Structure formats: structure tokens, C-alpha cells
Amino acid sequence: MGNKNNDKIRCIFIGTPSFAVPTLHTLINDEQFDIMAVVTQPDKKAGRKQAITPPPVKIEAEKYNIPVYQPEKIKDLKLKIKELKPDLIIVAAYAQIIPESILDIPKFGIINIHGSLLPKYRGASCIQAAIINGDAKTGVTIMKMDKGLDTGPVLTQSLINIAPNDTAGSLYEKLSELGAKILPPCLKKYIADEIEPRRQNNSLSSYAGLLKKQDGKINWKKSAIEIERFIRAMSPWPSAFTSLKIKNQKSKIKNNYINIKILKIKHETLTTNKHKAGELFLHDGSLAVQCGQDSLIIKKLQLEGKKEMTAEEFLRGYKSLVGSILA
């Protein structure tokens, strides 16, 4: 199966978000790889001004004058991929299923970088799932893609610890850098026939589907430990949120409820259980909220239509809301 030592490995790189950028950068700067083309999602509107914005992977590729293709559906690029005759295709967080007709094109197949220890947490929200479930460790899996969703044989894995204050955002960055570090040597060994892909144990598999904005809704009946993990897992997107009933407000506020994002909480929980679930109260002058079991101190939040604020700023402007019940 191996390439001649002097031959560059002809590659197509497929990916979209910032997670994929360190890996693309590393491969571009490794003399053993020839990145012939990059495939990414189309430019999309982003931010408050809804400006048309290119994906991070496109920005990185254009720095090196690498041709970029942005099909609405990757199956439409099948003929171009065949024409390029890649030895290998690398996929990192592309957000589209690669059809079987493309899987069979590269000489050495398609290799995927996945942000969990497969078969645990197949699917798009694998990083969030590890935090929500209180896992002590997670990692990156390099696998050969097949027609299933994250079901292909594993080439290698690398583990990292999940820190007590890790958010999905901080863990995303750590796993992104880890993937970039372990992928090139893994690919070289694989192409040199020094790695035997091993099948996943499907009986140990779990699935973490794509998150939607409404998935950030907090259930205050859960324990403080569960909610603390949930808030970290929802940061930075979709953000953990709750709602609060506002009295005597204008009718423009639907049903007199306003959404509040809970952006940061204190990691340590309080063994306080004398309030209703979701009730805001003061604990030694700090803003706290009662959970189904124990309580949490809120550090940073954002009211709908307002800027982010610390709990201290909230208490200066909205102290009358202490005692309200978050829903």
C-alpha cells in the first residue's frame, strides 16, 4: 500500500470551522504532503451585520494560494476530485456526509479527525457531550471513513484531561491543536503500512447529535453539578439560557418573559437547598440560584437585548429581581 519515500502525498483537505485550521496549517507546512485543493462550505452571513463571511479554512488556504472549492453539496464535486487523483483525502469538521461515491476515489481512502474517543460520542456535539457527562478525559480519534457516521476503523487516538473549568470553547481549541499534532505522523505511518486500522466496538458506541439554539435551555430542577457542567458545555454556543417573568412591562416582550443567558458560574456548588428550583437569592452578597439539588453562584450573565454584565453589575441595576424564579 505504501508510497515511495521520495513521493509527496497528494491530498485534498475538507473542512470548515476554526477546529480544522491548525491541521490544515500543519499539513501545508509539512514537506511530505501536497495539499492540491481545499473543500469547504460556502461563504455565509455572520454576526449582527450579517456580512458575507468566508469559512476559516478558506481564509487559511488562500494564504497559500491553494485552490478552494465551496459546493453546496459535496457530491457535486465528485468529477473534480476524480480529476485531481488524490492519494488521500483528510476531513476535519466539514458538516456534510461524504457520499460513498467519493469515499472510494482516493488511493488510501478518506481520513477523518474526530473530537472524541470513538466509539464514544459519534456525531457533531461530541465535545459538549464529554463535559455534560462529567468525563475526566476526552481526546482525538484519527479514523478511516466508511459509509456510516463516525463508524470507520481507528488509526490512532490521543487523550487529554478535561479541566474543571473547561468550556466547550476551551476544549475545542485544545482538541484542535491535538489533532494537528498527531495527524501527520499517523498518516505517514498509515501510508507506510505501519498502522493496522482497528474496528470500533459498536456495542460501546454513543451518539451526540447536532446542537440547536433551543438546546441551551437550562432545566433548574437538575442538580447544581449537572447544571454547572451544562453551562460550560453550552459556552460559547448556543449559550445556556433561562427565562424570567417581568411584571408591568410593555407588550413587546412576548408573554412578559425575557430570556437571560447564563454565561459563567462559579465551579464550586453551594449546599443550599432552602429555595424553590430556579429562584434567585443572595449568598454572602453574591448572586446565586437554587437548583434541584444544591445551588450555584452566577458570575456573568446577559439579559435579552443588553450587553454582557457581571453579577455585581446585574445586582446594581436589577436587585429587585432577586427572589424571582427562573424558568
The CA distance from 287 to 153, in Å, is: 49
Q: Which domains does the chain have, with CATH numbers?
A: 9-204 (3.40.50.170), 215-321 (3.10.25.10)
Between helices 21-28 and 168-191, what is the axis angle to 10°? 30
Output the pLDDT for position 3.
59
C-alpha cell at 253: 416582550
- Identify whether the C-beta of residue 262 lies closer than 8 Å to the C-beta of residue 238: no
pLDDT tens track for 51-61: 999 999 999 99
CA 24 to chain centre: 17
C-alpha cell at 313: 453589575
Q: Residue 326 pairs with which residues in a beta bridge?
A: 244
Helix (H) or strand (E) holding 154: strand 154-161
- Identify whether the C-beta of residue 14 lies closer than 8 Å to the C-beta of residue 36: no
Output the pLDDT for position 253.
46
The CA distance from 302 to 261, in Å, is: 5
- Identify whether the C-beta of residue 59 lies closer than 8 Å to the C-beta of residue 79: no
**How many CA within 13 A on the CB side of residue 234?**
23
pLDDT tens track for 139-154: 999 999 999 999 999 9
Helix (H) or strand (E) holding 141: strand 137-144
Output the pLDDT for position 254.
52
C-alpha cell at 254: 412576548
Q: Tell me the three state secondary structure of residue 6.
A: coil
- The per-residue b/e assignment along 48-66, b for 16 or more CB within 10 angstroms, e otherwise, is eeeeeebbbbbebbeeeeb
- Identify whether the C-beta of residue 174 lies closer than 8 Å to the C-beta of residue 182: no
Output the pLDDT for position 49.
81
- Identify whether the C-beta of residue 280 lies closer than 8 Å to the C-beta of residue 303: no
- Identify whether the C-beta of residue 84 lies closer than 8 Å to the C-beta of residue 12: yes
The CA distance from 244 to 256, in Å, is: 8
- Determine the straight-line distance between the first and last CA of the chain, rounded to whole angstroms: 59
In the predicted model, what is the mean pLDDT of the chain? Answer: 94
C-alpha cell at 286: 453574591
Runs of H (alpha helix) within the chain: 21-28, 56-63, 78-84, 100-103, 126-132, 168-191, 224-233, 311-318
Q: Is the pTM of this model over 0.85?
A: yes
pLDDT tens track for 76-125: 999 999 999 999 999 999 988 899 999 999 999 999 999 999 999 999 99
Helix (H) or strand (E) holding 85: none
- Cα dihedral 150→87→106→112 (10° resolution): 10
pLDDT tens track for 165-209: 999 999 999 999 999 999 999 999 999 999 999 999 999 999 999
Output the pLDDT for position 252.
45
Cis omega before residue 185 (within 30°)?
no
